[in-house]
Amino acid sequence: MSSAGFSPLGELALARGTVDRMTKRRTDKDWIEAAWKDRRSRVLAVDQGHALVREDADRVELIFVSPEEAPSGTRFLLGQDEDGVVYFGVSGPLPGGQEAYELGIRKATLREVGALLPDRDAGLLTHAVALANWHDTHTHCPLCGSATFPDPAGHSTFCPVDGSEHFPRTDPAVIMLVTDPQDRCLLARNAAWPGRRVSILAGFVEPGESAEQAVIREVAEETGITVINVRYLGSQPWPMPRSLMLGFRADAPAGQDIAVDHEELAEAQWFSREDLLAALNSRELALPPRVSIARHIIEAWYGGPLPSAWTGPPPPPR
Ligand SMILES: [Zn+2]
């Protein structure tokens, strides 16, 4: 189910996917075991956020293996496509191990290839990375400290000592484009980012807080700017390791001065469309990559594509 048509941001790279998640089969042990024995089933190995991809001149695609070729590791059901093919993920070593890969085959992260993969593969890799990250970091019961065991579909774990059940975590984060009465956009450079990278403001939603409250609080904390008229734009998962990015716009009433929180930001300033384009063209500034929701929100405000890319990985939300 592609996100095109659902969001004013257009199609977001990590909010794509065509495979039915088959949630009703997650408790059906027999169905899952039969699917694992089916040679048509495809398995995607994920190791520390990396999967294998095949890359040629005009496309990038995931490399799957059959269940019998799959590495050992925690297994999880990703879903089933229209042709009845079932997809699993495994958090474990990538196929091929230490061997050199053939030409065109390489390890890649979601950040690197998320915007390049076709819809099916983008959805599967996003889902698999999110579950693999959770399994890799949630191995013990938070109540009693015993080792937990995954259910047959790998979408929950249970504690054999106290019987408690545990589900994957997703941490909501807000990311927001703020404009002033001249429709200039507030861009900031994080203190931890090298060089000339700027983006819009972002931060985690705190316990007991709405997303809109988080937008207002984060903008005020980081830049001293009070915003009103907070409105939702769209979302995409960002499972590095477990965020859901909620995109917003907000308005800054006139007559305010920026007061940067230097713990968080190196600088923040208002940009008109002309100023931003000039700074990007002169390579004085760079924007986040196309895989990010930030890039889509900035380009939606600008009114079209902008000429910029980060070459390194984008930062995690603060
Ligand atoms: Zn327990």
The tens place of each residue's pLDDT in the chain, 318 residues long, gives 444 455 788 889 999 999 999 999 999 999 999 999 999 999 999 999 999 999 988 899 999 999 999 999 999 999 999 999 999 999 999 987 656 678 789 999 999 999 999 999 999 999 999 999 999 999 999 999 999 999 999 999 999 999 999 999 999 999 999 999 999 999 999 888 877 899 999 999 999 999 999 999 999 999 999 999 999 999 999 999 999 999 999 999 999 999 999 988 999 999 999 999 999 999 899 999 999 999 999 999 999 999 976 555 544 444
Going from the Cα of 170 to the center of ligand 1, the distance in angstroms, rounded, reads: 21
> How far apart (Å, rounded) are the C-alpha atoms in residues 5 and 28?
34
Going from the Cα of 142 to the center of ligand 1, the distance in angstroms, rounded, reads: 7
Q: How far is CA 18 from CA 78, 237, 254, in A?
A: 11, 15, 45
Going from the Cα of 148 to the center of ligand 1, the distance in angstroms, rounded, reads: 7
Q: What's the token pair of residue 155?
A: 């979408």
Going from the Cα of 243 to the center of ligand 1, the distance in angstroms, rounded, reads: 25
Going from the Cα of 145 to the center of ligand 1, the distance in angstroms, rounded, reads: 6
Q: In the Cβ-directed half-sphere of 51, how many Cα atoms lie within 13 Å?
A: 34
Q: 175 burial class (0-12, 13-18, 19+ CB within 10 angstroms)? A: buried
CB 222 within 8 A of CB 264: yes
Q: What pLDDT score does 259 carry?
A: 96
Going from the Cα of 161 to the center of ligand 1, the distance in angstroms, rounded, reads: 5
Helix segments in the chain, DSSP class H: 29-37, 110-113, 119-137, 211-223, 273-281, 293-302
Going from the Cα of 76 to the center of ligand 1, the distance in angstroms, rounded, reads: 21
Going from the Cα of 140 to the center of ligand 1, the distance in angstroms, rounded, reads: 8
> How far apart (Å, rounded) are the C-alpha atoms in residues 27 and 191?
46
Q: In the Cβ-directed half-sphere of 238, how many Cα atoms lie within 13 Å?
A: 26
> How far apart (Å, rounded) are the C-alpha atoms in residues 194 and 175?
20
Helix segments in 76-172, DSSP class H: 110-113, 119-137
Going from the Cα of 137 to the center of ligand 1, the distance in angstroms, rounded, reads: 16
Going from the Cα of 96 to the center of ligand 1, the distance in angstroms, rounded, reads: 37
154: Cβ–Cβ under 8 A, 6 or more apart, which residues?
A: 74, 75, 76, 77, 89, 131, 135
Going from the Cα of 156 to the center of ligand 1, the distance in angstroms, rounded, reads: 14
Going from the Cα of 158 to the center of ligand 1, the distance in angstroms, rounded, reads: 8
Q: What pLDDT score does 2 carry?
A: 46
Phi-psi region of 30 (alpha: psi -120 to 50; beta: other; left: phi over 0): alpha
Q: What pLDDT score does 316 carry?
A: 47
Going from the Cα of 165 to the center of ligand 1, the distance in angstroms, rounded, reads: 9
Which residue is associated with the tokens 């109540």? 143
184: Cβ–Cβ under 8 A, 6 or more apart, which residues?
A: 270, 271, 272, 275
Going from the Cα of 131 to the center of ligand 1, the distance in angstroms, rounded, reads: 20
Going from the Cα of 167 to the center of ligand 1, the distance in angstroms, rounded, reads: 14
Going from the Cα of 150 to the center of ligand 1, the distance in angstroms, rounded, reads: 13
